[in-house]
Amino acid sequence: MSKFQLTTVVRPILCLLALLIFSGCGAGGAGMIRLRAENWQPTPGGSIQASDLANPGDVVDVSDVLGLDGEETFWVYGVEADMGVGTYEMTEISFTGNGSTTLGSAIDFGGTTFNSGSTLDSALEATVTTFHSKGALLGVGPVMLKYIWGVDHLVFDTTLTGTGPGGGKGGSEAVSAHRGIDEWVPAFGVGAQFAMPIGNDWSLELDGELSGLWISYGDIDGTYEGLTLRGGIRQGSGILFGAGHRSLVIDVADDGTGTSADIDLGGSYLFVEWAF
């Protein structure tokens, strides 16, 4: 097994072990294990920048320059479990967008120049995998306040393909550039949940969570914030279905790769959750 493969396997296991050891009273819901699927429709926004040695590179707008201005639809999956000593959740949020635009002016991305007037094809991938422990802070009637802590894995990959200077005097040639951010960062947050019976074997459930932090960890500096709001109706202690809104605001710089990203992904979703 390669060092990369070993790191990929071992890190999530160590994260889960740490959450099991340093946890408090649970902040769970129906059943012992809950599986959740969300049909998320985010709209991307923000910008990216990639430097090369002394050249800081241009700030590239995700919408205007990369052409990623439409609503996308993706599936988000999560699992949450009450383990007696705490509640634990793992969620993977993945976004992939492709765009194409005609450049109004030349841009520099990671030391690669793309000519003005050329067609720029772009691919942006963003994945946030969360490993969180949740505990009860205070309960008042049907309302419970909770704390959240854990570790998140942030992955951003950007690939640009177009035409740049080359091929002799005044000529041009096909060029491409790729930059990415791949870091593990700690995360902390708070939340609240509400549950109330509304009929024979039916209940209304509302939940909100805000997590993230100001990051200065390893090569990463910046801010990271994730907001999730949802509401639904549960049948007994089993299936829950409803709607919600998820927003990710990530403004980070990776000194190791010379890449910075100021990305905003926000949109509504429909979801279903099975409790066992």
For the segment 75-103, what is each residue's pLDDT rounded down to a tens digit? 999 999 988 777 999 999 988 889 999 99
CB 173 within 8 A of CB 185: no
pLDDT score for 173: 86
DSSP single-letter state for residue 53: T
Residues of the chain with pLDDT under 70: 1-30, 53, 166-171
pLDDT (tens digit, 9 = 90+) per residue, 19-35? Answer: 444 444 555 566 789 99
pLDDT at site 140? 86
Tell me, what's the pLDDT at 214? 72
Query: Which pLDDT score, from 0 to 100, does residue 255 have?
Result: 83
Q: Residue 59 has which token pair?
A: 């700030």
d(CA 43, CA 73): 9
Give the angle 119-266-269 at the CA atoms, nearest 5°: 115
Domains and CATH numbers, the chain: 3-275 (2.40.128)
Give whole-number Cα distances, 33 to 84, 201, 238, in Å.
12, 19, 10
Q: What is the pLDDT at residue 60?
A: 92
Residue reference for tokens 């450049």: 103
Greatest Cα-to-Cα distance within the chain, rounded to the nearest angstrom: 79
Question: Is the pTM value of this prediction over 0.85?
Answer: no
Ordered DSSP codes for 1-43 = --HHHHHHHHHHHHHHHHHHHS--S----SSSEEEEEEEEEEE
**Percent of the chain, pLDDT > 70?**
86
Is the distance from CB of 154 to CB of 180 less than 8 angstroms? no
pLDDT for the residue 130? 93
pLDDT in the model for residue 145:
95
With 0-12 / 13-18 / 19 or more C-beta atoms within 10 angstroms meaning exposed / middle / buried, residue 155 is middle
Helix (H) or strand (E) run with residue 151 in it: strand 143-165
Give CA–CA dist 44/223, Å, rounded: 17
Distance CA 58, CA 113 (A): 10
Give dist(CA 70, CA 239) in Å, integer: 32
Write down the pLDDT at residue 72: 82
- pLDDT given for residue 27 in this prediction: 54
Q: What pLDDT was estimated at residue 178?
A: 92
